[in-house]
Structure 1
Amino acid sequence: MAGTNRILVIVTSVGEYEKAGYRTGLWLGELTHFYDVAEQAGFAMTIASIAGGHVPLDPESLAHDVLADLGTDKRYADREFMDKLTDTVPVADVDVEDFDAIYLTGGHGVMFDFHQSAALESLIARFHETGRIVSAVCHGPCGLLDVTLSGGEPLVRGKDVTGFSWPEEELARRADVVPYSLQDRLKQLGASYSTAEKPFATYVVEDGLLITGQNPGSAKAVAEAVVGRLR
Protein backbone atom coordinates (compact mmCIF):
# COMPACT_ATOMS: atom_id res chain seq x y z
CA MET A 1 0.00 0.00 0.00
CA ALA A 2 1.22 3.51 -0.84
CA GLY A 3 0.85 4.68 2.74
CA THR A 4 3.40 2.16 3.99
CA ASN A 5 6.15 3.49 1.75
CA ARG A 6 8.74 5.97 2.96
CA ILE A 7 11.12 8.03 0.86
CA LEU A 8 14.48 9.36 2.04
CA VAL A 9 15.30 12.79 0.59
CA ILE A 10 18.96 13.88 0.62
CA VAL A 11 20.03 17.54 0.57
CA THR A 12 23.36 19.36 0.67
CA SER A 13 25.05 20.91 3.69
CA VAL A 14 27.26 23.23 1.59
CA GLY A 15 26.32 26.90 1.30
CA GLU A 16 29.08 28.41 -0.83
CA TYR A 17 31.44 27.66 -3.71
CA GLU A 18 35.06 26.82 -3.03
CA LYS A 19 36.52 28.93 -5.87
CA ALA A 20 34.23 31.97 -5.74
CA GLY A 21 32.13 33.97 -3.32
CA TYR A 22 28.86 32.75 -4.77
CA ARG A 23 26.35 31.41 -2.27
CA THR A 24 24.73 28.06 -3.02
CA GLY A 25 22.85 25.27 -1.25
CA LEU A 26 19.67 23.31 -1.88
CA TRP A 27 17.70 24.37 -4.96
CA LEU A 28 14.40 24.65 -3.09
CA GLY A 29 12.10 23.74 -5.98
CA GLU A 30 13.87 20.43 -6.48
CA LEU A 31 12.72 19.52 -2.98
CA THR A 32 9.23 21.05 -3.08
CA HIS A 33 8.20 19.82 -6.54
CA PHE A 34 9.15 16.26 -5.57
CA TYR A 35 7.63 16.57 -2.09
CA ASP A 36 4.30 17.85 -3.41
CA VAL A 37 3.84 14.87 -5.75
CA ALA A 38 4.97 12.24 -3.26
CA GLU A 39 3.00 13.66 -0.35
CA GLN A 40 -0.18 13.91 -2.40
CA ALA A 41 0.28 10.24 -3.34
CA GLY A 42 0.40 9.32 0.34
CA PHE A 43 4.12 8.80 0.85
CA ALA A 44 5.98 9.86 3.98
CA MET A 45 9.36 11.54 3.63
CA THR A 46 12.39 12.13 5.81
CA ILE A 47 14.90 14.83 4.85
CA ALA A 48 18.54 14.07 5.60
CA SER A 49 21.65 16.11 4.84
CA ILE A 50 25.33 15.26 4.70
CA ALA A 51 26.21 16.99 7.96
CA GLY A 52 22.75 17.09 9.54
CA GLY A 53 21.18 20.20 11.04
CA HIS A 54 20.53 23.39 9.09
CA VAL A 55 20.26 23.27 5.29
CA PRO A 56 21.51 26.27 3.27
CA LEU A 57 19.31 27.41 0.38
CA ASP A 58 20.59 28.57 -3.00
CA PRO A 59 19.54 32.25 -3.09
CA GLU A 60 18.82 32.07 -6.82
CA SER A 61 16.19 29.42 -6.13
CA LEU A 62 14.39 31.98 -3.97
CA ALA A 63 13.97 34.59 -6.73
CA HIS A 64 10.32 35.61 -7.13
CA ASP A 65 9.81 34.12 -10.61
CA VAL A 66 11.54 30.86 -9.59
CA LEU A 67 9.48 30.51 -6.41
CA ALA A 68 6.28 31.04 -8.39
CA ASP A 69 7.02 27.95 -10.51
CA LEU A 70 4.80 25.00 -9.55
CA GLY A 71 3.87 26.46 -6.20
CA THR A 72 7.26 26.53 -4.47
CA ASP A 73 6.21 29.92 -3.05
CA LYS A 74 3.45 28.21 -1.04
CA ARG A 75 5.99 25.88 0.57
CA TYR A 76 8.37 28.80 1.20
CA ALA A 77 5.56 30.64 3.01
CA ASP A 78 4.77 27.55 5.09
CA ARG A 79 6.66 27.83 8.38
CA GLU A 80 6.05 24.19 9.34
CA PHE A 81 7.48 22.94 6.04
CA MET A 82 10.50 25.25 6.03
CA ASP A 83 11.31 24.27 9.62
CA LYS A 84 12.04 20.77 8.27
CA LEU A 85 15.26 22.31 6.89
CA THR A 86 16.47 23.64 10.23
CA ASP A 87 17.31 20.33 11.90
CA THR A 88 17.78 17.55 9.34
CA VAL A 89 19.01 14.03 10.09
CA PRO A 90 22.70 13.35 9.30
CA VAL A 91 23.08 10.86 6.46
CA ALA A 92 25.32 8.70 8.66
CA ASP A 93 22.40 8.11 11.06
CA VAL A 94 19.99 6.77 8.43
CA ASP A 95 18.93 3.10 8.28
CA VAL A 96 18.22 1.81 4.76
CA GLU A 97 15.63 -0.62 6.15
CA ASP A 98 13.36 2.32 7.07
CA PHE A 99 12.91 3.38 3.44
CA ASP A 100 11.80 2.14 0.03
CA ALA A 101 13.40 4.86 -2.12
CA ILE A 102 16.08 7.53 -1.96
CA TYR A 103 15.92 10.87 -3.79
CA LEU A 104 18.97 13.10 -4.25
CA THR A 105 18.12 16.77 -4.67
CA GLY A 106 20.42 19.24 -6.40
CA GLY A 107 21.70 22.77 -6.15
CA HIS A 108 25.39 23.38 -6.78
CA GLY A 109 26.22 22.66 -3.13
CA VAL A 110 25.93 18.92 -3.77
CA MET A 111 28.92 19.08 -6.14
CA PHE A 112 31.09 19.70 -3.08
CA ASP A 113 29.69 17.26 -0.52
CA PHE A 114 27.61 14.48 -2.11
CA HIS A 115 30.36 12.50 -3.80
CA GLN A 116 32.80 13.08 -0.93
CA SER A 117 30.50 11.43 1.62
CA ALA A 118 31.40 7.80 2.31
CA ALA A 119 28.21 7.51 4.37
CA LEU A 120 26.06 8.60 1.42
CA GLU A 121 27.91 6.36 -1.03
CA SER A 122 27.44 3.24 1.12
CA LEU A 123 23.81 4.18 1.71
CA ILE A 124 23.08 4.50 -2.02
CA ALA A 125 24.86 1.21 -2.74
CA ARG A 126 22.68 -0.51 -0.12
CA PHE A 127 19.50 0.99 -1.60
CA HIS A 128 20.48 -0.26 -5.05
CA GLU A 129 21.61 -3.72 -4.01
CA THR A 130 18.52 -4.39 -1.89
CA GLY A 131 16.15 -3.62 -4.77
CA ARG A 132 15.13 -0.15 -3.64
CA ILE A 133 14.66 2.89 -5.88
CA VAL A 134 17.60 5.28 -6.33
CA SER A 135 16.56 8.62 -7.83
CA ALA A 136 18.23 11.98 -8.37
CA VAL A 137 17.67 15.27 -10.17
CA CYS A 138 19.85 18.01 -11.68
CA HIS A 139 23.17 17.99 -9.75
CA GLY A 140 21.84 15.23 -7.49
CA PRO A 141 23.55 12.53 -9.62
CA CYS A 142 26.85 13.88 -8.22
CA GLY A 143 25.98 11.56 -5.34
CA LEU A 144 26.23 8.58 -7.70
CA LEU A 145 29.76 9.33 -8.92
CA ASP A 146 31.69 7.46 -6.23
CA VAL A 147 29.14 4.74 -5.50
CA THR A 148 30.80 1.35 -5.94
CA LEU A 149 28.77 -1.85 -5.76
CA SER A 150 29.89 -4.95 -3.86
CA GLY A 151 31.29 -6.43 -7.09
CA GLY A 152 33.65 -3.46 -7.42
CA GLU A 153 31.98 -1.74 -10.36
CA PRO A 154 30.60 1.82 -10.36
CA LEU A 155 26.83 1.92 -9.91
CA VAL A 156 26.36 4.06 -13.03
CA ARG A 157 28.51 1.91 -15.36
CA GLY A 158 26.35 0.77 -18.28
CA LYS A 159 23.31 2.59 -16.88
CA ASP A 160 21.13 5.07 -18.76
CA VAL A 161 21.30 8.34 -16.84
CA THR A 162 20.94 12.09 -17.13
CA GLY A 163 21.87 15.08 -14.96
CA PHE A 164 22.70 18.78 -15.26
CA SER A 165 24.45 19.24 -18.62
CA TRP A 166 27.51 21.30 -19.45
CA PRO A 167 25.53 23.63 -21.78
CA GLU A 168 23.17 24.27 -18.84
CA GLU A 169 26.18 24.95 -16.61
CA GLU A 170 27.35 27.56 -19.13
CA LEU A 171 23.89 29.13 -19.40
CA ALA A 172 23.76 29.31 -15.60
CA ARG A 173 27.13 31.15 -15.72
CA ARG A 174 28.76 28.65 -13.40
CA ALA A 175 31.10 26.87 -15.82
CA ASP A 176 34.13 28.75 -14.45
CA VAL A 177 33.49 27.97 -10.79
CA VAL A 178 32.12 24.43 -10.63
CA PRO A 179 34.71 21.81 -9.55
CA TYR A 180 33.96 19.46 -12.47
CA SER A 181 31.51 18.64 -15.25
CA LEU A 182 28.84 16.22 -14.02
CA GLN A 183 28.13 15.29 -17.62
CA ASP A 184 31.77 14.36 -18.28
CA ARG A 185 32.21 12.50 -15.00
CA LEU A 186 29.17 10.31 -15.65
CA LYS A 187 30.44 9.47 -19.13
CA GLN A 188 33.94 8.71 -17.82
CA LEU A 189 32.44 6.17 -15.41
CA GLY A 190 30.82 4.34 -18.31
CA ALA A 191 27.28 5.65 -17.95
CA SER A 192 25.11 6.09 -21.03
CA TYR A 193 24.39 9.81 -20.56
CA SER A 194 21.70 11.65 -22.51
CA THR A 195 19.87 14.98 -22.37
CA ALA A 196 16.79 16.73 -23.70
CA GLU A 197 17.17 18.41 -27.09
CA LYS A 198 16.96 21.86 -25.49
CA PRO A 199 18.67 22.99 -22.27
CA PHE A 200 16.37 23.21 -19.24
CA ALA A 201 13.61 21.16 -20.88
CA THR A 202 12.03 18.51 -18.65
CA TYR A 203 13.84 15.20 -19.12
CA VAL A 204 13.81 12.01 -17.07
CA VAL A 205 15.64 8.74 -17.69
CA GLU A 206 14.58 5.44 -16.10
CA ASP A 207 16.89 2.42 -16.03
CA GLY A 208 15.20 -0.18 -13.88
CA LEU A 209 15.07 1.22 -10.36
CA LEU A 210 17.52 4.03 -11.19
CA ILE A 211 15.65 7.24 -12.05
CA THR A 212 17.41 10.51 -12.95
CA GLY A 213 16.21 13.95 -14.04
CA GLN A 214 18.24 16.51 -15.96
CA ASN A 215 17.49 19.86 -14.34
CA PRO A 216 15.32 21.73 -11.80
CA GLY A 217 12.30 21.55 -14.09
CA SER A 218 12.50 17.75 -14.06
CA ALA A 219 11.94 17.25 -10.31
CA LYS A 220 8.16 16.85 -10.60
CA ALA A 221 8.56 14.26 -13.37
CA VAL A 222 11.15 12.35 -11.32
CA ALA A 223 8.67 12.26 -8.42
CA GLU A 224 5.94 10.95 -10.70
CA ALA A 225 8.27 8.21 -11.93
CA VAL A 226 9.29 7.25 -8.37
CA VAL A 227 5.67 7.18 -7.18
CA GLY A 228 4.72 5.09 -10.19
CA ARG A 229 7.42 2.53 -9.37
CA LEU A 230 6.54 2.38 -5.67
CA ARG A 231 2.90 1.75 -6.47
Structure 2
Amino acid sequence: MPTRILNVVTNVGHYDDPQHPTGLWLSELTHAWHVFGEHGFEQTLVSPAGGVVPLEPRALKFPNYDKTAKAWRADPAKMALLQNTRRPDEIDSADYDAIYFTGGHAVMYDFLDSDGLQRITREIWERGGVVSSVCHGYCGLLNTRLSDGSYLIAGKKMTGFAWREEKLARVDKLVPYNAEEAAKQRGALYEKARLPFVSYAVVDGKLVTGQNPGSAKETAEKVAALL
Protein backbone atom coordinates (compact mmCIF):
# COMPACT_ATOMS: atom_id res chain seq x y z
CA MET A 1 0.00 0.00 0.00
CA PRO A 2 1.37 3.43 -0.88
CA THR A 3 1.74 6.07 1.83
CA ARG A 4 -1.16 8.49 1.64
CA ILE A 5 -1.36 12.12 2.74
CA LEU A 6 -4.49 14.18 3.32
CA ASN A 7 -3.84 17.88 2.59
CA VAL A 8 -6.32 20.28 4.19
CA VAL A 9 -7.21 23.55 2.44
CA THR A 10 -9.68 26.38 3.08
CA ASN A 11 -12.98 27.44 1.49
CA VAL A 12 -12.90 31.01 2.86
CA GLY A 13 -12.11 33.94 0.56
CA HIS A 14 -12.09 36.98 2.84
CA TYR A 15 -11.70 38.25 6.39
CA ASP A 16 -14.74 39.35 8.43
CA ASP A 17 -14.49 42.51 6.34
CA PRO A 18 -15.30 41.36 2.76
CA GLN A 19 -13.14 44.16 1.39
CA HIS A 20 -10.07 42.25 2.56
CA PRO A 21 -9.58 39.06 0.52
CA THR A 22 -7.67 36.03 1.75
CA GLY A 23 -7.57 32.30 1.01
CA LEU A 24 -5.08 29.45 0.66
CA TRP A 25 -1.44 30.52 0.80
CA LEU A 26 -0.58 28.55 -2.31
CA SER A 27 3.11 27.85 -1.69
CA GLU A 28 2.25 26.20 1.63
CA LEU A 29 0.44 23.57 -0.41
CA THR A 30 2.78 23.41 -3.40
CA HIS A 31 6.03 23.08 -1.43
CA ALA A 32 4.63 20.21 0.60
CA TRP A 33 2.91 18.61 -2.40
CA HIS A 34 6.25 18.62 -4.22
CA VAL A 35 8.10 17.03 -1.29
CA PHE A 36 5.43 14.39 -0.75
CA GLY A 37 5.31 13.69 -4.48
CA GLU A 38 9.07 13.14 -4.61
CA HIS A 39 8.60 10.44 -1.96
CA GLY A 40 5.91 8.75 -4.03
CA PHE A 41 3.13 9.50 -1.56
CA GLU A 42 -0.46 9.60 -2.81
CA GLN A 43 -2.22 12.88 -2.00
CA THR A 44 -5.79 14.06 -1.57
CA LEU A 45 -7.24 17.53 -0.96
CA VAL A 46 -9.98 18.03 1.60
CA SER A 47 -11.63 21.25 2.79
CA PRO A 48 -14.19 21.97 5.53
CA ALA A 49 -17.06 22.41 3.04
CA GLY A 50 -15.65 20.67 -0.02
CA GLY A 51 -15.52 22.30 -3.43
CA VAL A 52 -13.71 25.51 -4.37
CA VAL A 53 -10.56 26.84 -2.70
CA PRO A 54 -9.90 30.61 -3.01
CA LEU A 55 -6.28 31.77 -3.25
CA GLU A 56 -4.68 34.42 -1.04
CA PRO A 57 -3.75 37.30 -3.38
CA ARG A 58 -0.63 38.23 -1.40
CA ALA A 59 0.74 34.72 -1.92
CA LEU A 60 0.68 35.25 -5.69
CA LYS A 61 3.18 38.10 -5.62
CA PHE A 62 6.95 38.25 -5.30
CA PRO A 63 8.67 36.98 -3.18
CA ASN A 64 5.97 34.53 -2.05
CA TYR A 65 5.16 33.39 -5.59
CA ASP A 66 7.90 30.88 -6.36
CA LYS A 67 8.43 28.23 -9.03
CA THR A 68 6.31 25.54 -7.36
CA ALA A 69 3.35 27.91 -7.01
CA LYS A 70 3.77 29.18 -10.56
CA ALA A 71 3.94 25.63 -11.91
CA TRP A 72 0.75 24.72 -10.05
CA ARG A 73 -1.16 27.69 -11.48
CA ALA A 74 0.12 26.88 -14.97
CA ASP A 75 -1.17 23.30 -14.74
CA PRO A 76 -4.93 23.03 -15.54
CA ALA A 77 -5.14 19.62 -13.85
CA LYS A 78 -3.65 20.98 -10.62
CA MET A 79 -5.92 24.03 -10.66
CA ALA A 80 -8.90 21.72 -11.19
CA LEU A 81 -8.03 20.01 -7.89
CA LEU A 82 -8.72 23.34 -6.14
CA GLN A 83 -12.16 23.53 -7.75
CA ASN A 84 -13.36 20.19 -6.48
CA THR A 85 -11.92 19.31 -3.07
CA ARG A 86 -13.52 16.60 -0.98
CA ARG A 87 -15.63 17.11 2.15
CA PRO A 88 -14.60 15.58 5.50
CA ASP A 89 -17.64 13.26 5.45
CA GLU A 90 -16.30 11.77 2.21
CA ILE A 91 -13.00 10.86 3.87
CA ASP A 92 -12.21 7.57 5.63
CA SER A 93 -9.33 8.43 7.94
CA ALA A 94 -8.14 4.81 7.82
CA ASP A 95 -7.03 5.46 4.23
CA TYR A 96 -4.42 8.02 5.33
CA ASP A 97 -1.07 7.87 7.10
CA ALA A 98 -0.81 11.61 7.72
CA ILE A 99 -2.80 14.84 7.64
CA TYR A 100 -1.24 18.17 6.69
CA PHE A 101 -3.05 21.46 7.38
CA THR A 102 -2.09 24.27 5.00
CA GLY A 103 -2.48 27.91 5.98
CA GLY A 104 -3.39 31.39 4.90
CA HIS A 105 -5.43 33.64 7.20
CA ALA A 106 -8.63 32.17 5.76
CA VAL A 107 -8.17 28.97 7.74
CA MET A 108 -8.63 30.89 11.00
CA TYR A 109 -12.33 30.93 10.10
CA ASP A 110 -13.17 27.49 8.77
CA PHE A 111 -10.56 25.16 10.29
CA LEU A 112 -11.14 26.07 13.93
CA ASP A 113 -14.47 24.35 14.58
CA SER A 114 -14.80 21.83 11.74
CA ASP A 115 -16.17 18.70 13.42
CA GLY A 116 -15.30 16.69 10.32
CA LEU A 117 -11.66 17.74 10.29
CA GLN A 118 -11.39 17.18 14.03
CA ARG A 119 -12.76 13.63 13.62
CA ILE A 120 -10.26 12.80 10.89
CA THR A 121 -7.35 14.32 12.82
CA ARG A 122 -8.25 12.50 16.04
CA GLU A 123 -8.61 9.16 14.26
CA ILE A 124 -5.31 9.50 12.38
CA TRP A 125 -3.52 10.55 15.59
CA GLU A 126 -4.97 7.78 17.73
CA ARG A 127 -4.06 5.21 15.09
CA GLY A 128 -0.42 6.36 15.26
CA GLY A 129 -0.43 8.48 12.12
CA VAL A 130 1.27 11.84 11.63
CA VAL A 131 -0.58 15.11 12.29
CA SER A 132 1.03 18.21 10.81
CA SER A 133 0.39 21.85 10.01
CA VAL A 134 2.16 24.89 8.65
CA CYS A 135 1.63 28.57 9.45
CA HIS A 136 -2.06 29.24 10.30
CA GLY A 137 -2.83 25.58 9.65
CA TYR A 138 -2.45 25.00 13.39
CA CYS A 139 -5.82 26.68 13.82
CA GLY A 140 -7.19 23.32 12.71
CA LEU A 141 -5.57 21.73 15.77
CA LEU A 142 -6.56 24.30 18.40
CA ASN A 143 -9.94 22.76 19.26
CA THR A 144 -9.22 19.14 18.32
CA ARG A 145 -9.79 16.86 21.27
CA LEU A 146 -8.78 13.24 21.71
CA SER A 147 -11.14 10.45 22.77
CA ASP A 148 -10.32 11.13 26.43
CA GLY A 149 -11.47 14.74 26.06
CA SER A 150 -8.00 16.31 26.23
CA TYR A 151 -6.69 18.72 23.61
CA LEU A 152 -4.42 17.02 21.08
CA ILE A 153 -1.86 19.84 21.39
CA ALA A 154 -1.85 19.95 25.21
CA GLY A 155 1.66 19.34 26.52
CA LYS A 156 3.10 19.13 22.99
CA LYS A 157 5.92 21.22 21.58
CA MET A 158 4.63 23.03 18.50
CA THR A 159 4.75 26.21 16.46
CA GLY A 160 2.61 28.23 14.07
CA PHE A 161 2.27 31.78 12.75
CA ALA A 162 3.38 34.06 15.57
CA TRP A 163 1.54 37.11 16.85
CA ARG A 164 4.65 39.16 16.11
CA GLU A 165 4.36 38.03 12.49
CA GLU A 166 0.68 39.07 12.41
CA LYS A 167 1.74 42.55 13.47
CA LEU A 168 4.56 42.71 10.94
CA ALA A 169 2.15 41.56 8.22
CA ARG A 170 -0.19 44.36 9.37
CA VAL A 171 -3.18 42.10 9.79
CA ASP A 172 -3.32 41.99 13.59
CA LYS A 173 -6.40 44.24 13.46
CA LEU A 174 -8.10 42.01 10.87
CA VAL A 175 -7.63 38.52 12.29
CA PRO A 176 -10.46 37.08 14.41
CA TYR A 177 -8.23 35.89 17.28
CA ASN A 178 -4.62 35.47 18.44
CA ALA A 179 -3.77 31.90 17.40
CA GLU A 180 -0.46 31.83 19.26
CA GLU A 181 -2.18 32.78 22.51
CA ALA A 182 -4.99 30.29 21.86
CA ALA A 183 -2.46 27.47 21.48
CA LYS A 184 -0.83 28.38 24.78
CA GLN A 185 -4.21 28.53 26.51
CA ARG A 186 -4.85 24.94 25.41
CA GLY A 187 -1.60 23.79 26.99
CA ALA A 188 0.63 23.70 23.93
CA LEU A 189 4.34 24.28 24.50
CA TYR A 190 4.50 26.93 21.80
CA GLU A 191 7.88 27.76 20.23
CA LYS A 192 8.99 30.20 17.54
CA ALA A 193 12.16 31.17 15.74
CA ARG A 194 14.20 34.08 17.08
CA LEU A 195 13.62 35.94 13.81
CA PRO A 196 10.23 36.32 12.12
CA PHE A 197 9.45 34.74 8.74
CA VAL A 198 12.42 32.35 8.69
CA SER A 199 11.86 28.62 8.26
CA TYR A 200 11.17 26.92 11.59
CA ALA A 201 9.60 23.52 12.20
CA VAL A 202 9.04 21.53 15.38
CA VAL A 203 8.64 17.78 15.80
CA ASP A 204 7.12 16.26 18.95
CA GLY A 205 6.52 12.56 18.41
CA LYS A 206 4.05 12.30 15.51
CA LEU A 207 3.15 16.01 15.64
CA VAL A 208 4.97 18.20 13.10
CA THR A 209 4.34 21.95 12.87
CA GLY A 210 5.88 24.78 10.86
CA GLN A 211 5.80 28.44 11.83
CA ASN A 212 5.17 30.40 8.63
CA PRO A 213 4.93 30.17 4.82
CA GLY A 214 8.69 29.76 4.52
CA SER A 215 8.50 26.65 6.70
CA ALA A 216 6.35 24.52 4.38
CA LYS A 217 9.18 22.60 2.72
CA GLU A 218 10.97 21.90 6.01
CA THR A 219 7.71 20.81 7.62
CA ALA A 220 6.90 18.43 4.76
CA GLU A 221 10.41 16.97 4.85
CA LYS A 222 10.03 16.26 8.56
CA VAL A 223 6.66 14.61 7.93
CA ALA A 224 8.19 12.49 5.17
CA ALA A 225 11.03 11.46 7.49
CA LEU A 226 8.52 10.17 10.04
CA LEU A 227 6.68 8.22 7.37
Q: TM-score of the superposition, structure 1-length normalised?
A: 0.96
Q: Alignment partner for residue 86 of structure 1, among 61, 83, 87? A: 83
What's the offset of the Cα at 1:76? 1.6
Checking the alignment, whether the CA contact within 8 Å between 2:202 and 2:209 is kept in structure 1 is yes
Q: Is the 8 A contact 1:20 1:177 kept in 2?
A: no
**Structure 1 stretches of 5 or more lacking a match?**
none
Amino acid of the residue matched to residue 170 of structure 1?
Answer: K
- Cα deviation for residue 84 of structure 1 reads 0.8
Q: Structure 2: which 5+ residue stretches go unaligned?
A: none
For residues 2-151 of structure 1, the aligned pairs below 5 Å read 4-19=2-17, 21-68=19-66, 70-151=67-148
Point out the more displaced range, 78-87 or 198-207. Answer: 78-87
Q: 1:163 aligns with which of 160, 172, 182?
A: 160
The SS at the match of 2:145 is coil
User: Matched residues in 1 for 2:42 and 2:144: separation?
Assistant: 26
Instruction: Tell me the distance in 1 between the aligned counterparts of 2:71 and 2:164.
Output: 31
Q: Greater CA deviation, 59-68 or 26-35? A: 59-68
Partner of 2:181: 184
The count of corresponding residues between Structure 1 and Structure 2 is 227
Give per-residue Cα distances to partners, 1:65-105, cap 9 Å, x unaligned. Answer: 3212x532122211111111011101221110111000000
**Structure 2: how far apart are the matches of 1:200 and 1:213?**
11
Residue identity opposite 1:23 in structure 2: P
Residue type of the alignment partner of 1:5: T
Letter in 2 for 1:56: P
Offset, 1:19: 3.6
1:116, CA displacement in angstroms?
1.6
Q: Name the CA shift for 1:64/1:200 in 2 (closer, same or farther; >3 Å).
A: closer
1:197 counterpart residue number = 194
Shift of 1:64: 4.0
Q: Deviations over 1:161-192 (max 9, x none)?
A: 00000010011111001011111000001110
Show structure 1 runs of 4+ deviating over 4 A. none
Tell me if structure 1 keeps the 8 A contact 2:34–2:68: no
